[in-house]
Homo-oligomer: A and B are copies of this chain.
Amino acid sequence: MNRANASSGHDDTVDAEFNVFSDAEIVAMETALAAARQGVRGANPLVGAVIIDADGTVLAIGHHRGAGTPHAEADVINRLLGTGVKRDLSAATIVVTLEPCNHQGRTGPCTQAILDAGLGNVVYAVDDPHTPAAGGADKLRMEGINVRSGLMARQAQDMNRQWFVAVREGRPFVTARLAQTVDSRIAAADGSSQWITSSQSRQDSHTLRGRVDAIVVGTGTILADNPRLTARAADGTESPHQPLRVVMGMREVDAGAAARHQGGPGFVQLHTHDPAEVLAELHRRGVGHLMIEGGSKINAAFLAAGLVDELIVYLAPTLLGTGMPALNDLGITTLDQAQQWEWDGTTTGPVERLGPDLKLTLMPAKVPAPATPAEGL
């Protein structure tokens, strides 16, 4: 039975006149959305994909696992076909949560993967707003593929809403990382801070460093800790992928600072206190995912500017009472102005145990839809 999605009970922005989705496609999209949430946030959005045959049987489920790994479409096609297997998929449909990209990035364009697999039908949720990657649907239609879109567009958009914001604003996706006590201290009164959190948390932090394109700290952190700012394994060896090491602030970083003398994509000091300027410059340099590593002033500056898309809190089961707070002034004076977040977390959920610590993951709370104007106005 085919039915217009508008009548399916799903609350979607669908042009029902042109886009009619089968029950199997609706179920497949729900599966694809769930699969997408198994990924990791960053330069790329969470994307899931499902291939169903003509009678609606699920043939394969795939998802994207973060920048540098296959896109969801390639993942699901690989799972179904392996390497080199041939199969007639002209009557099959790939159901994917984002418009297939038409862009040669670190991986090939998904449009080509779909054409190579011989898939005859594409259903996707939401258009890709990312200029270099957009146009996938048109490309596929030109090649004779049956393409429909808009199924569960709202859910797909919502799942990646901060990624859409970052793309729209032309800036990197920003992850902030706090490593704090239960009472939100990142150093004791005498400045001692090594280590607030467990070795497992610190190793997780290095895993994140190995996933992002750049990390930024303030000059105060450089002066206090002289960090290398590299991604390292537990045994101290450097990870294959290293982030750009960025310091923001006016005080000139010493020529001997450790962060200046590491391998990988290099070191840059940006002489500004303005997070927006940092993001604009890093976007210009091709940074898709930035991680903020503090200290308090840098954390607070990005948060106060509304420029954090993901907040990761390593929470040690300890108390200090006094010492350096994880944050400082966010420009908030009364409770009504409090920043609203919500627990997020994809692969492992919003709370993960890392040795003695908890890892909490948050994203900015959804802004409530504007009130409907009074009738008659």
Contacts and interface: CB of A to CB of B under 8 A. Distances in A.
A303 B328 contact: no
A265 B164 CA distance: 57
Which residue of A196, A304, A327, A351 has the most chain B CB atoms within 10 A of its CB atom? A327
B303 A321 contact: yes
Interface string A318-335: 111111011111111111
A319 B333 contact: no
A192 interface: yes
A318 B339 contact: yes
A331 to B, nearest CB: 7
Interface in A306-358: 311, 313, 315, 317-323, 325-343, 350-351, 353, 356, 358
Contacts of A194: 335
A339 B317 CA distance: 8
B332 A328 contact: no
A328 B332 CA distance: 21
A328 to B, nearest CB: 6
Contacts of A189: 332-334
B318 A341 contact: yes
A329 B189 CA distance: 10
Contact of A358 (B328, B332, B339, B351): B351
Given A343-B358, A358-B343, A365-B317, A330 B336 contact: no
B317 A321 contact: no
Contacts of A318: 338-341
Given A319-B338, A338-B318, A326 B188 contact: no
Contacts of A317: 340-343, 362, 365
Contacts of A340: 317-318
Contact of A330 (B321, B325, B333, B365): B321
A193 interface: yes
Interface in A263-322: 300, 303-304, 311, 313, 315, 317-322
B320 A338 contact: yes
Interface stretch (A45-53, A130-138, A176-184, A222-230): A176-184
B342 A192 contact: no
Contacts of A183: 184, 325-327
Nearest to A337: B188
A58 interface: no
Given A303-B321, A321-B304, A325-B325, A334 B182 contact: no
A360 interface: yes
Given A187-B335, A320-B330, A323-B332, 13 more contacts: A182-B362, A183-B327, A188-B332, A188-B334, A190-B333, A317-B343, A317-B365, A318-B338, A318-B340, A321-B328, A321-B332, A322-B328, A351-B358
8 contacts: A182-B341, A183-B325, A183-B327, A189-B334, A317-B341, A317-B365, A319-B339, A321-B331
